[in-house]
Amino acid sequence: MSNRVAPPRRGAAPGGLAVGVLAALRRTGGLWFGWSGNAAGEGERAPEIVARDGIRYATIDLCAEDIERYYNGYCNASLWPLFHYFPGRFAYDEENFQAYQRVNARFATELLKLLRPGDLVWVHDYHLMPLARILRDRGFSGPIGFFLHIPFPHAQVLRVLPNHETLMRDLCCYDLVGLQTRDDVQSFVSAVRLAFGGAVRCDDGRLDVGGRRVSVGTYPIGVDVDAIRQEAARTVQEETVQRLIASLLGRRLIIGVDRLDYSKGLIQRFAAYEHFLEHDPESHGRVTLLQIAPLSRTDVLAYTEIRRALEQATGKLNGRLAAADWTPVRYLNRNYSHATLMGFLRAAHVALITPVRDGMNLVAKEYVAAQDPDDPGVLVLSSLAGAAHELTGALLANPYDRRGIAEALRAALHMPLAERRERHREMAEVLRRNDIHRWSERFCHDLQAAGAYGPPAAA
Q: Is the dihedral of CA 84, 90, 94, 100 positive or negative?
A: negative
Nearest to 57 by CA among 130, 128, 96, 7: 7
Distances (CA, A) of 391 to 369, 388, 425, 439: 12, 5, 11, 16
Element spanning 235, H or E: helix 225-235
8 Å CB contact between 96 and 67 = no
Distance CA(355)–CA(445), nearest Å, equals: 31
Nearest to 340 by CA among 434, 245, 451, 425: 245
**Edge-to-edge strand list for the sheet holding 200-203:** 121-124, 144-147, 176-179, 212-218, 206-209, 200-203
Nearest to 71 by CA among 300, 372, 318: 300
User: How many C-beta atoms lie closer than 10 Å to residue 86's C-beta?
Assistant: 17
- Residue 344 DSSP symbol: H
8 Å CB contact between 114 and 1 = no
8 Å CB contact between 123 and 145 = yes
The residues carrying an active-site annotation are: 149, 358
8 Å CB contact between 72 and 297 = yes
Backbone angles phi, psi at 177, to 5 degrees: -115, 120
End-to-end CA distance of the chain: 29
**Burial status of residue 325 (CB atoms within 10 A of its CB: 0-12, 13-18, 19 or more):** exposed
Distance CA(100)–CA(136), nearest Å, equals: 18
